[in-house]
Copies of this chain bind each other. A is one copy, B any other.
Amino acid sequence: MDRIDSSLVALRQILRATEIAGRELAQQAGLTSVQFRALQMVGETGQTTAKAIATRMHVSQATVTALVDRLVTRECVVREKSLEDRRQTHIVITEFGRQTIENAPDPLQQRFVRRFKDLEDWEQAMLVASLERVASMLDAEDLPAGAVLTTGELSRS
């Protein structure tokens, strides 16, 4: 069955393109991709907790501590003790951090969106249906996923 190969190859290409774009994106922003991903999360709401980042990135809290240390050094975020629950630390994005995100264009996503808009109506519908189908075939459909196209690194879980 050759279609299986075709589909796997296409899927792999999509993954690779995203991976490479992620590198460039982060590099352009002067951060590593991991740092950039974390910063994006903070940026979504303006502030979060270390725990939330750890959970979303599937990484330990210790890792997040180290990661946030670096974002603090780069003045993209600041730590603020929570007043409600003093065990928590709010990670708050700085103006500089916000600009870093904004000034980092995502050529990959832009390209995709631009081309998607150019498609015929039925084509758009087909693509959405297909992508959702594939996601469900990977048992991915219930994973939380913001509408942001950024790959992350790997390592143990």
Interface size on A, residues (CB 8 A): 68
**Cβ-based interface call for A138 (8 A):** yes
A9 to B134, CA, bound (A): 12
**Cβ-based interface call for A143 (8 A):** yes
Whether the pair B155, A33 counts as a contact (CB closer than 8 A) is: yes
**Nearest CB of B to A56, in Å:** 10
A58 to B14, CA, bound (A): 16
Mark A residues whose CB is within 8 Å of B: 1, 3-24, 26-27, 32-34, 58, 108-109, 111-113, 115-117, 123-135, 137-141, 143, 145-149, 151-157
Closest 6 CB pairs of A and B: A17-B140, A130-B130, A10-B131, A153-B153, A12-B145, A13-B140
